[in-house]
Amino acid sequence: MMKEIQRKKKVLIDLTNYGSLTAGFGQIAANYATAFSSMPVDDLHFVYLLRQKYMQEFGPNVTSVPVRRINKFFPFTLPKVDVWHAVNQQRKLLRIAGGTKFIFTIHDFNFLTEKKPWKAKMYLRRMQNKVNKAAVVTTISHYVADVIRQHVDLKGKEIRVIYNGVERIDTLEGIKPSFATGRPFFFTIGQIRRKKNFHLLVDVMRHFPEYDLYICGDAHFAYAEEVRNLIRENQLTNVFLTDVISQSEKIWLYRNCEAFLFPSEGEGFGLPVVEAMQFGRLYLLLIALVCRKFVMDTLSCGNIWIQNLWWKVSGGIYLIFIKIRNAWRKSRNMPLHSVTRSIYKPTLIYIGS
């Protein structure tokens, strides 16, 4: 068995976010782990870099390696591989040795608006350094590709746009959350951080007293308290911050909500949008900034019936209602939803197979 592994090219996937299923990077890591471990390949062996508490067996063609504190200071303690894939820009560990090809995936440039100028410059220098080392740069939407070209010197390197694979959840069973009141409701999900713009929805709900709004996600951030204060100031009883929910509860909410609301302005892709599309008969309420590029690209396939209603909120920010009938079924032929085509084929290209 060991000799068979040694003859194969080794591809390391940094899955340090594995296990954090309430965050986008955690969901992406889980999809990577499932996809690569199930691929019928003869010439590649995958190495998963995981936090110690999530170490497990993923099958005969995967070796799991735990992240250790010493790795940060002494990169030579990390495995020597043919391809090293940092699946998001936050990954700091890297060992390039003996011709290792580095794949660098960039999801967003949120730090440009979230961080103070001096810190944003530091992050940008760090990103430029990773791009300099990369054999190829990938990103998860054409919007982010445009931002990369504005802020990073690619030194002639091509950007490959590879959409995130999204797990099919529309056929799974859901469980009604204990906080559900029984009234018609809107639903949104994400970490309760400023870039998600949930405070805008508080104002929107003043105009929909017959509906409840469930804002679900990690609420330990200071911004969550700002949203709570805004709810109290407006004396609203139909807006709920529920904190983290389970996968089964999320499925129930997608399936039963009157509308899925997604006001974020800090998304490179927006996984919840694609998840919501799986359930059909939904209105997606979007701020037409970052997600507009992805949504309009998706709708341009011509197979999705839409009804638009634009509503200006402030400045250059607009809300858009999009009614999508059976969107997931009608867009399944689009390659952007295919995990296999999204992450496996390019890997073969990167290592010259």
Asked if the structure places residue 171 within a domain, the reply is no
Instruction: Considering only residues 195 and 118, tell me which one the structure prediction assigns the higher pLDDT.
Output: 118
Cβ atoms of residues 220 and 248 within 8 Å? no
The mean pLDDT of the chain is 76
Confidence category of residue 240, pLDDT binned at 50, 70, 90: very high
Domain total of the chain: 2
**What's the CA gap between 125 and 33, in Å, rounded?**
30
Asked if the structure places residue 177 within a domain, the reply is no
pLDDT value of position 2: 63
> Is residue 98 exposed (0-12), middle (13-18) or buried (19+ Cβ within 10 Å)?
exposed
Q: CATH number for the domain including 156?
A: 3.40.50.2000
**Judgement on whether residues 37 and 83 belong to the same structural domain of the protein:** yes
The per-residue pLDDT for range 274-303, each reduced to its tens digit, is: 788 788 745 555 544 444 444 444 444 333
Check whether 308 has a pLDDT greater than 50: no
Asked if the structure places residue 180 within a domain, the reply is no
**Judgement on whether residues 143 and 208 belong to the same structural domain of the protein:** no
* Token reading at 330: 């009608």
**Judgement on whether residues 38 and 17 belong to the same structural domain of the protein:** yes
pLDDT value of position 237: 94
**What's the CA gap between 108 and 98, in Å, rounded?**
30
- Lowest mean pLDDT across 23-32, 198-207, 310-319: 310-319
**What's the CA gap between 351 and 349, in Å, rounded?**
6
- Closest C-alpha to 121, from 112, 113, 129, 130: 112
Interacting residues of 230 by C-beta distance below 8 A, sequence separation 6+: 199, 202
Q: How many other C-beta atoms are found inside a 10 Å radius of the C-beta of residue 119?
A: 11
Check whether 305 has a pLDDT greater than 50: no
The per-residue pLDDT for range 126-184, each reduced to its tens digit, is: 999 999 988 899 988 888 898 899 999 998 888 998 877 777 888 899 999 999 999 99
**Judgement on whether residues 14 and 157 belong to the same structural domain of the protein:** yes
pLDDT value of position 342: 32
Asked if the structure places residue 178 within a domain, the reply is no
**Judgement on whether residues 199 and 143 belong to the same structural domain of the protein:** no
**Judgement on whether residues 286 and 139 belong to the same structural domain of the protein:** no
Q: Phi and psi for 185 in degrees, rounded to 5?
A: -145, 155
Domain region containing 324: 185-331
Q: Measured at the alpha carbon of residue 242, what is the angle toward residues 241 and 246, in degrees to the nearest 5? A: 145
* Token reading at 41: 């390949």
**Judgement on whether residues 121 and 204 belong to the same structural domain of the protein:** no
The per-residue pLDDT for range 195-236, each reduced to its tens digit, is: 888 888 888 788 888 999 999 998 888 999 999 999 999 999
Q: How many other C-beta atoms are found inside a 10 Å radius of the C-beta of residue 322?
A: 22
User: Where would I find the H helices in 278-338?
Assistant: 290-299, 327-331
Q: What is the pTM of this model?
A: 0.71
**What's the CA gap between 214 and 187, in Å, rounded?**
5
Check whether 97 has a pLDDT greater than 50: yes
**Judgement on whether residues 11 and 89 belong to the same structural domain of the protein:** yes
- Closest C-alpha to 86, from 97, 96, 99, 73: 96
